[in-house]
A and B are shown apart, each in its own frame.
Chain A
């Protein structure tokens, strides 16, 4: 990869994100060795089956145990090119570690994510050249969006010798990996560092600030027809769109923010302070709600989450709720936002209705003082553009429809994966889907 590109995306200093401590810091060699030696090296291990990308966990852990760190990283990365970010952001409690035989045994499962990070981070720092791309094939593949799905797909395609062109409408590449992940798991700069490593695998060009649209009207845009015409295949890694809105009085204006937008600001905006914000209410019960609530709490804000159903029905992970609570987040169940109250334009409080089994209790409610409302009730779809590729269809929930085995869309030259297909899962799912798509793109390009 061209040297110049590699350093293009340095984040500015003095961002709120930098002040967060790593919740699972890089292991020291002694820690890694002790943990690796705890692994039983199961045969047909359930942890492998639980990893969406099928990383051979026992094998890489054994390699750490024998001091074969480079081999461990090779095992990880050949199954999952984004092994670094996955190691840090995967909800291992419900994936690999959640299925570790120790978990069933009632014991502490192997810290698979942390071991994975140890192997990959140290190897990429010292021996980044562990893969060798095949000779150029002359094929050009366009990837729309530069989130984990596209980055993983581009890396794998580049290793096969194809040229990859990534189109990203934002100024920073990486999608939510750079802009959305909680800073105590993965910082923007770390996501970019991994991305740069993927770019170094072969002929990958990232064109930031370019939006793929149905009909291009200006320089920052490229049309779907043009894209199809000038490439041998297209991969859509569109992700999800803007934060959904509450649709209640008082929502317009300062002091009410979409959760992913606010997270992105914490991660990228220099000098952003939450001055004057003593209390915040986070609306929603999913993982995004938990993330922003946890982040605000770590920034010293008094945070309560407002969720319309009960704790048992929450979509967010139990382990994330537990962790957020430890850092001070409170959960208010069975409540629905009714109105945001302002004084001189400033948010001062929020009116909530009480619910029972999802239905409002007439006349019951409360008004809670707050300085900030973060809305985390889901994201819109960024998938409209997909329809502009002839043959590509969306399902009733706005997700790009693909053949689940090949991730090919209705257009024989277009594949898709990641949040825009699965409706919003994890980074590791985006990688797994990208792998399926790449396998089929390979077949297609080989004329099979």
Chain B
């Protein structure tokens, strides 16, 4: 059995699964129930000066039959008195000494930072997380993402925190910036040992079309909130990978956050450089109990891959990240439809026809019919096979791929509802690997339309 415990910049945690600073970590009772359920750590709901929250404060996005693909909120930091929070933190740490307790903090002045750091450490916090990410409410007051988006200010406050703190400091980054490396580098300069990301993405959840008010609605008005949940995972992974590849930022411990709902999501974050992961929306949706599957799934996964610890997984996928210009232009895939499992829904056909390169054809058509349907190029080879799908109902036709024309974009594979029915097959182009950067290095520069067009352009310009 793989060892799930981690070392996060010197702090040990029984496993990498932490609760993110959010409603699930509002109270000591919740955090203790979470630890009982198996969570390895918790980032307490952000502490700071008193605020008042509005109602409603959450908005949800459903997609098809999936509820809460995305969540957004206009909630602020804790609305409970600081003394109460600290008292409960103290109790949590006493009852769960081996678990990781992180205090999330957000205040304005240097003095306030000094004081709240002191009190958090007294309450037993193993780590401090500076909330430079909240994209609503606090930033108007010059906090939250207002700090996260201003590297100079971020650096200054982080420097104070490192100076005041005895425990390691994490800077929690906002995705609402043009270049995540700027705040990342600022944090490095400030001397913090760790980063966490992402906080929520600025968003408006929708519009109430009857009242003509954006969502979530607070009376007759609304404001932008922060977007999270499964929908933001790709954004979070991208930003994480950028930091993980950076020579300095990549050396820090990183806590990955954003849309993590299960062990597989967590494994992906860790493979892209995270040491711990934090979860908010999935717990708000399904409760603390989801951690059981996370622990089991990650552990079995590590065993299967022959890895004995989480540390072995960390960063494994980072080297495979390249700039576009480094990708191999000679690599080629072609779609292949399995007529035995195709159900004849023709979704691949219509997707390729309207949304890609018109390389999928319907059987039984004459050349005339194909042209009328909009095909400008006709296949050289029409495969010999039944028109009606074996796994389909009468009238369901199995489309076929014009392999010479297929650009290998894999849109058809993405839309096909039958798992494994469309596969992308590697085909040899007979060309040696060559990237865009290689071409530029060789002076074959960039005119759309390929080398002939480039040559022609050169001749014209001469």
Contacts and interface: CB of A to CB of B under 8 A. Distances in A.
Interface of A: 33-34, 37-38, 40-46, 49-50, 65, 98-106
7 contacts: A40-B345, A42-B345, A43-B345, A43-B349, A98-B393, A101-B393, A104-B389
B178 interface: no
A42 B393 contact: no
Interface string B327-357: 0000000000000000111110110000000
Q: Which 5 A-B pairs have the closest CB atoms?
A: A43-B350, A46-B395, A43-B346, A104-B393, A42-B345
Contacts of A49: 395
Among A38, A42, A101, residue most surrounded by chain B Cβ atoms (within 10 Å): A101
Given A49-B395, A106-B391, 4 more contacts: A44-B397, A46-B394, A101-B345, A104-B389
Contacts of B350: 43
A226 to B, nearest CB: 46
B64 A37 contact: yes
Nearest to A105: B343
A9 to B, nearest CB: 38
A40 B417 contact: yes
Contacts of B389: 104
B218 interface: no
B396 A46 contact: yes
Interface in B382-437: 389, 391-397, 417-418
A41 B346 CA distance: 9
B362 interface: yes
B297 to A, nearest CB: 27
Given A43-B347, A46-B344, A38 B395 contact: no
Nearest to B349: A43
Contacts, number: 59
A11 to B, nearest CB: 39
Contact of A50 (B349, B395, B397): B395
A162 to B, nearest CB: 35
A105 B391 contact: yes
A181 B208 CA distance: 43
Among A37, A40, A99, A106, residue most surrounded by chain B Cβ atoms (within 10 Å): A40
B345 A99 contact: no
Nearest to A101: B343
A214 B426 CA distance: 76
B347 A99 contact: no
Contact of B394 (A34, A37, A65, A99): A99
B55 interface: no
B369 to A, nearest CB: 12
B65 interface: yes
A42 B347 CA distance: 6
Contacts of B397: 44
A45 B345 contact: yes
B65 A42 contact: no
A46 B392 contact: yes
Contact of A37 (B65, B391, B392): B65
A38 B65 contact: yes
A416 to B, nearest CB: 28
Interface of B: 64-65, 343-347, 349-350, 362, 389, 391-397, 417-418
A162 B183 CA distance: 74
Nearest to A48: B395
* B interface SS class: loop
Contacts of A50: 395
A45 B397 CA distance: 9
Contacts of A43: 345-347, 349-350
Nearest to B350: A43
A44 B362 contact: yes
Contacts of B345: 40, 42-43, 45, 101
Contacts of A41: 347
Contact of B65 (A34, A100, A102): A34
Nearest to B354: A43
Contacts of B396: 46, 99, 101, 104
Among B346, B389, B395, B417, residue most surrounded by chain A Cβ atoms (within 10 Å): B395
B346 A44 contact: yes
Contacts of A101: 343-345, 392-393, 396
A256 B250 CA distance: 90
A105 B421 CA distance: 12
Contacts of A40: 345, 347, 417
B419 to A, nearest CB: 11
A33 B66 CA distance: 11
B106 to A, nearest CB: 40
Contacts of A34: 65
A103 B397 CA distance: 14
Nearest to A49: B395
A42 B344 CA distance: 8
A45 B349 CA distance: 12
A36 B170 CA distance: 46
A59 to B, nearest CB: 13
Nearest to B346: A43
B392 A104 contact: yes
Contacts of B349: 43-44
B304 to A, nearest CB: 30
A143 to B, nearest CB: 33
Contacts of A105: 343, 391-392, 418
Among B347, B362, B396, residue most surrounded by chain A Cβ atoms (within 10 Å): B396
A38 B65 CA distance: 8
Given A43-B345, A105-B343, A100 B417 contact: no
B393 A99 contact: yes
Contacts of A44: 346, 349, 362, 397
A45 B391 CA distance: 15
A94 to B, nearest CB: 11
B355 to A, nearest CB: 11
Contacts of B391: 104-106
Contacts of A45: 345-346
A43 B347 CA distance: 6
Nearest to A34: B65
A46 B346 CA distance: 10
A50 B347 CA distance: 18
B79 to A, nearest CB: 33
Contacts of A103: 393
Nearest to A107: B343
Contacts of B65: 33-34, 37-38
A100 B395 CA distance: 10
Contacts of B392: 46, 101, 104-105
A99 B394 CA distance: 7
A244 to B, nearest CB: 33
A37 B65 CA distance: 6
A98 B345 CA distance: 14
Contacts of A38: 65
B64 A99 contact: no
Contacts of A37: 64-65
A40 B344 CA distance: 11
A243 to B, nearest CB: 34
A264 to B, nearest CB: 36
A38 B345 CA distance: 13
A106 B390 CA distance: 12
Contacts of A65: 64
Given A37-B64, A37-B65, A38-B65, A100 B346 contact: no
Contacts of A42: 344-347
A128 to B, nearest CB: 22
Nearest to A41: B347
A156 B397 CA distance: 33
A360 to B, nearest CB: 39
A33 B389 CA distance: 29
B344 to A, nearest CB: 6
B156 to A, nearest CB: 50
Nearest to A46: B395
A101 B392 CA distance: 6
Nearest to B341: A105
Contact of B344 (A33, A98, A104, A106): A104
A106 B65 CA distance: 21
